[in-house]
Chain A
Amino acid sequence: MPRLPTSLIRAARLIDPLLPLLLRPCRDLRSAQNELRWLCEHIQNHAGARNITERTALLKKLVQERSTGKPLQYILGTEFFGDFEIECRPGVLIPRQETAASITQLVHLLRKSKSLPPELRILDLCTGTGCIPLLFQDELSKHQDIRLELLGVDISKKAIQLARSNLAKLRSQGKPTAGNKISFMRADVLDDAREGYDHEIPKLMSALESQHKSSTWDILISNPPYVSPSEYWKTTTRSVRCFEPQLALVPPPSHGLKDLDQGDRFYPRLLHIARDVAAKIVLFEVADLDQALRVTGMARQAGIFSGIEIWRDDPGGSAELESTYASGDFPIVGSGNGRSVLCWRGEGAVWLGKHV
């Protein structure tokens, strides 16, 4: 990481004595100023400081916390995901803007369809804060008269607790549309035995059965851990490495798996689940275009899908580039980094408006 120029630190101090501290994680003046403003707003609106002295002391404390690299979302306690303010807590991955963009685009395609069934079932694996089911149901119910059943699954107890608390918060605001069923369940998506495995956590399929959940799901969405161990050390930022849970980023090691394969470890299993639950539309988030191409390869090998597409960071932006075909024969939609892989079959093609 390049050193911060002294002139920049001096310029920051002239604006506000606390700004140089925020330059450490932000690296540029504009975003440091933005963060300082948001911290001030947070203190004025939420924190229990009673007078100006307490407020100043609290602001200083929060700025110091932030300067160690602690994510702003953990300090403020929330992150925006689409139109929602989702609660965040240490121990659960913070929702990313790119994920919201993919989900919004998927719903956008579904909304245009005239032939959606009266009831749709959506399964979200590795749900974390529960942001995907919550955004999905809100975006779709706003425009379509449709009944939705959504289930979020995660291995982490903290994540499930947080997802339920997010759901309860939205319920208290009267947000989830009546008639839609949303629930969260703790289960392990990977099915093979591994070291240090907690035998109390049920496997996904047996959990679906024992909790009397449906065994068929129309849409399967997942943002699984997809960072390989070497990428984890080389490409993630320090704030991610030091403060966000490794469980949500790096798939668990398995005997005889190479570095790259460990990063991709969830996808074969997810495609397997997609077949077992008879999913008609599948959307997986990936790290970059290379991983997207590897996943599309796996999906083609699975041989159950009639169409596969790669989406970039911003799949539906106004700067909609013409779909380009990379080395494979799959269209790549949108602008930015390779971000997700969309597969469909059967009625899914009609729902997405893809003409066979």
Chain B
Amino acid sequence: MLPPSLLRLPLRLPSSPSSLSHLRSPIRAFTTTSLNLQKHFPPRLVIPDSDIEENFLKGSGPGGQKINKTSSAVQLKHLPTGIVVKCQETRSRSQNRKLARKTLAERVEELMLGDEARTRVKARERSRKKASAEKKKRRKYRALEEAKAAEGTEGGGEGDGDAAVEMEKDTIEPGKGG
């Protein structure tokens, strides 16, 4: 039986820059080329409050003591572009306001900068990493197959082996893709 602490969901550690700064300093590169820790993302867009129309969504009718609502949804409208963002993630209205502002800034940036926007750059970065991981995985299995094939034929010609692997890879590919 595992201890109960392991069964709970993992805690998310605070990731504020202040807590990371002391972790960063002792990092030493193993290579002579310096490690690039700085991420090259465009800076976050800050939308002035005067450009935002804020709306706390609530039904019509009485409020205050007479009803007890659990919704604390916030709706923001960016006046210059007309983009509308709604947030009801958390129970806290102030939290929802922060989240909604963040989402709105991202949307407006996407509209202004297109593919250069922070979210798009991040998404590209993510898909690039995924693709390279995918490639690495394929390479590893290909090597394994190659080794297996080499064992099976037991010292076949080098050229023949390569051809066999190429063929095998072709047949295996679609299965792996799924």
Q: Which A residues are closer than 8 A to B by beta carbons? A: 26, 30-31, 34-35, 38, 44, 50-51, 71-73, 76, 79-80, 82-83, 85, 93-94, 96-100, 223, 225-227, 231, 235-237, 239-240, 244, 248-249, 285-288, 313-314, 317-319, 336-337, 339
A313 contact set on B, CB distance < 8 A:
56, 58, 63
Known: A318-B52, A319-B54. A30 touches B88 (CB 8 A): yes
The 9 closest A-B pairs by CB, nearest first: A80-B92, A318-B54, A72-B70, A236-B66, A237-B67, A240-B68, A235-B62, A337-B63, A71-B68
List 9 other contacts, CB 8 Å, given A38-B70, A226-B64, A235-B61: A79-B91, A80-B91, A83-B94, A96-B65, A235-B62, A240-B68, A287-B64, A319-B54, A339-B63
Interface string of B141-162 (1 = CB under 8 A from A): 0000000000000000000000
CB contact between B70 and one of A73, A249, A319 (< 8 Å): that residue: A73
| Complex interface residues of chain B between 76 and 128 (CB less than 8 A to chain A) | 88, 90-95
Cα distance, A345 to B13, chains bound together (Å)? 50
Question: 8 Å CB contacts to A: which residues of B1-30?
Answer: 4, 7-9
Interface residues of B (CB under 8 A from A): 4, 7-9, 49-50, 52-56, 58, 61-72, 88, 90-95
A337 to B66, CA, bound (A): 12
> Quick check: B66 and A237 within 8 Å, CB to CB?
yes
Interchain Cβ contacts under 8 Å between A and B, 9 examples: A31-B71, A80-B72, A93-B65, A96-B68, A223-B65, A236-B67, A288-B62, A317-B54, A336-B63
Given that A34-B71, A38-B91 are contacting pairs, would A318 and B53 also be in contact in the complex, using a CB cutoff of 8 Å?
Answer: yes
Minimum CB–CB distance for A319 against chain B, Å: 6
Interchain CA distance A317-B129 in the complex, whole Å: 43
A286 to B65: give the CA distance in the assembly, Å: 9
Q: Is the CB of B54 within 8 A of A82?
A: no
Complex partner residue of B88 from A34, A97, A227, CB under 8 angstroms: A34
Check if B68 sits within 8 Å of A244, measured CB to CB: yes
Cα-based distance from A30 to B71 in the complex (angstroms) = 10
Question: Are A44 and B68 in touch, CB under 8 angstroms?
Answer: no
* Residue among A76, A235, A319 making CB contact with B66, cutoff 8 Å: A235
List the A residue with the shortest CB-CB distance to B92.
A80
What's the nearest-Cβ distance from chain A to residue B51, in Å? 9
A227 pairs with B52, CB closer than 8 A:
no
Determine whether the beta carbon of B64 is less than 8 Å from that of A337.
Answer: yes
Q: Is the CB of B64 within 8 A of A239?
A: no
Inter-chain contact A231/B68, CB cutoff 8 Å? no
Q: CA of A26 to CA of B73 in the docked complex: distance in angstroms?
A: 14
| Shortest Cβ distance from B69 into A: residue | A97
